[in-house]
Amino acid sequence: MNSGLLDPVIVGFVFAPLLGTLSLLFALAWRQMRNAHSGLDMPDRLLAVVVRTMPDARREWGTAMLAELGQIHDVAARWRFALGSARVALFPPYGNGLLQPATASPQPFCGMLAVTLPPLGLPFIYVAAVLIEAIGGSPFTPASRWSHPDLVVAIVKLIILLTWGCLVAGLPLGIAGWCRRERWRGLSVLGMFSSLGIVGYFLLVMSFVAGGGPNGD
């Protein structure tokens, strides 16, 4: 492969939004855990944060698990109990009509997608480009090894379309999450800004590249 796709600058450009979003999410989660539960240790904080996501019909069980965690003193046992309980809190068993309608207590599905999809757009097209290049070379050049370059070009166009879909998806998904009054509505807002920011970042870098760099040559 000699197209320069593995150039660190290109890799950095592609993965910067993803790393930025992950760092931001981590920082926000960390800050929230520290502010909301200062004085508690990590297993307590972890479980307390996860319990807040439980549907109202199951919240009592989350409180019960938190109270039990308070009775465990061994550090390893606390972690084991907190992790097991966190799993239950994230995926509580449903049944007997306790599954709530989506409008009553919506989980942040749209918000999660709004935050996740935009930063995955560029890595997605990058990985696709690397694979296409590695398998049969660029379909746009005469040196291509593809037997049906037209078909590959069509696939590339579809990938470009999907990439743009990912990049701008944060906006409609974020609006949907906000309108559904999902839990953690900040995710919806973050998703909207993330989409706008990443599209802006992409267009800025592309215009910079098209202009030939800082000297315009």
Partner 1 sequence: MQRNRPPSEQSTTVLRVLAEDPTVWRHGYDLCQQTGLKAGSMYPILIRLADRGLLETKWETEIPAGRPPRHLYRLTEAGIELANELGEKEALEVKAKCVRLRPRMEGA
Using rule CB under 8 A, residue 75 touches partner 1: no
Using rule CB under 8 A, residue 76 touches partner 1: no
From CA 194, how far away is CA 24, in angstroms rounded? 10
Minimum gap (Å) between residue 64 Cβ and partner 1: 3
- Report whether 109 contacts 182 (CB < 8 A): yes
Minimum gap (Å) between residue 85 Cβ and partner 1: 5
Using rule CB under 8 A, residue 196 touches partner 1: no
Residue from 98, 179, 204, 205 that binds partner 1 (CB under 8 A)? 98
Q: Which is nearer to partner 1, 95 or 216 (CB)?
A: 95
For every residue of 102-144, DSSP letters joined together read TTTS--SHHHHHHHHHHHHHHHHHHHHHHHHHHHH--TTSTT-
Minimum gap (Å) between residue 184 Cβ and partner 1: 23
Using rule CB under 8 A, residue 81 touches partner 1: yes
Using rule CB under 8 A, residue 72 touches partner 1: yes
122: nearest Cα among 55, 58, 199: 199
> Segment near partner 1 (CB under 8 A), from 19-27, 92-100, 138-146, 163-171?
92-100
From CA 161, how far away is CA 16, in angstroms rounded? 21
Q: Which is nearer to partner 1, 7 or 41 (CB)?
A: 41
53: nearest Cα among 77, 29, 76: 29
Q: Tokens for 78, please give them.
A: 């606390």
Residue 215: phi and psi, rounded to 5, are: -90, -5
What are the CA-CA distances from residue 119 to residues 19, 61, 78, 111, 185 (Å)? 8, 35, 35, 14, 19
From CA 161, how far away is CA 173, in angstroms rounded? 17
Q: Which is nearer to partner 1, 54 or 113 (CB)?
A: 54
Q: Which is nearer to partner 1, 23 or 63 (CB)?
A: 63
Using rule CB under 8 A, residue 41 touches partner 1: no
Using rule CB under 8 A, residue 83 touches partner 1: yes
Residues lying near partner 1 in the complex (CB under 8 A):
58, 60-61, 63-68, 70-72, 80-81, 83-85, 87-88, 92-93, 95-96, 98
